[in-house]
Amino acid sequence: MDIEIFFTAIFLSVAASISGIYMVLSQKSMYGDALSHSLLPGIVLVFLITGERSFFGSLIGALFTGVLVSVLIRRLEGIKGIYSDAAIGGVFVVFFALGILLISGPAEGVDLDQDCVLFGEIAFVPIDRWTIGDYDVGARGVWISLFLVLLALTFHLVMGRVMKFVSFNSEFARSRGVNPEIWNMIYHIFISIFIVLSFELVGVILILSFLVTPIAASWLVSGNMKRLIFLSLTLAAASTSTGLVAADALDVSISGTIAFMQGVTFFVFLSYYSLAKKRSIRRLH
């Protein structure tokens, strides 16, 4: 197993576990799915306008699309009779389909395809080097994922207290003088930055797994925020490490194996939670 692949995967899983907590707490985990898939047309449109695909161009396009998607979802949720899941699903399908159409049509020459977006390939991390002059400072993916850890920690330490109120109870937050719409928009911009910096390293499917699965599993058995964060980070690192070892031993997709191991972890915790709940009910009777 390549050490640079290992560190990239671990750093990304830890960063995503910190970043995705507020989506799970607000019971809107599918926001991550919608944003992940909806960033694609923004990236492609910037390529069509500029004629080249650059890091900052992709970031600007993704941020524009991320903000637009967030605004549309919030607007649709405000319409009577349209529930959150319907708003998310409708916007997600339209934007992702638009991205696929642009890739297969006018932007056919862009170095970005459906397989890259959906699955990614973390095995290519050691190939993409970061050089300063003639000095090789390591794989770019390792540095990007480490930066995302620092970014996620900074966001949590600076804005975590307010985001916790907004995620748990937006009406209570509003009564305390906090505008949930503004804070949710800030959070969606942050998640958009996180996704666009990481999805080419591992793909949308694994990023979504990182953002939701360890947190959802931890939420089943955690009684407070500190325990939730600690357990989420532990499960993320453990399931990622196990997936890397299994993928290396079986010679199969690294991203797919890690996502599968995180799914297994979730169902193990769900089974434990269900059994514990049944025992509690029996004791009451």
What is the set of domains in the chain, with CATH numbers?
3-125+135-206 (1.10.3470.10)
pLDDT at 283 over 70: no
Q: Which residues contact 110 (CB under 8 A, 6 or more apart)?
A: 44, 47, 53, 103
Give strand pairing partners of 136. Answer: 131
C-alpha to C-alpha distance for 200 and 205, rounded to whole angstroms: 11
**Is 162:238 a contact under the CB 8 Å cutoff?**
no
C-alpha to C-alpha distance for 231 and 221, rounded to whole angstroms: 9
Listed range (18-32, 46-60, 131-145, 163-177) with the worst mean pLDDT: 46-60
* pTM higher than the cut 0.85: no
Strand, helix or coil at 138? strand
C-alpha to C-alpha distance for 125 and 249, rounded to whole angstroms: 19
- List the one residue out of 73, 95, 96 whose CA is nearest residue 84: 73
C-alpha to C-alpha distance for 33 and 17, rounded to whole angstroms: 15
How far is C-alpha 36 from the chain's CA centre?
7
How confident is the model at residue 85, as a pLDDT?
Answer: 75
**Is 117:204 a contact under the CB 8 Å cutoff?**
yes
Q: How many CA atoms lie within 13 A of 40 on its CB side?
A: 32
pLDDT 10s digits, 87-132: 888 888 888 888 878 877 766 655 555 555 555 578 788 888 888 8
C-alpha to C-alpha distance for 199 and 141, rounded to whole angstroms: 11
C-alpha to C-alpha distance for 138 and 2, rounded to whole angstroms: 12
How confident is the model at residue 115, as a pLDDT?
Answer: 53
pLDDT at 12 over 90: yes
pLDDT 10s digits, 40-93: 788 778 877 877 766 677 778 877 887 788 788 878 877 877 777 788 888 888
Q: Is 179 or 119 the better-scoring residue by pLDDT?
A: 179
How confident is the model at residue 128, as a pLDDT?
Answer: 81
First to last CA, the chain: 52
C-alpha to C-alpha distance for 77 and 80, rounded to whole angstroms: 8
Q: Is 213 or 124 the better-scoring residue by pLDDT?
A: 213
Angle at 126 between CA 121 and CA 131, to 5 degrees: 130
How far is C-alpha 262 from the chain's CA centre?
14
Listed range (18-22, 41-45, 233-237) with the worst mean pLDDT: 41-45
| Helix (H), strand (E) at residue 136 | strand 135-139
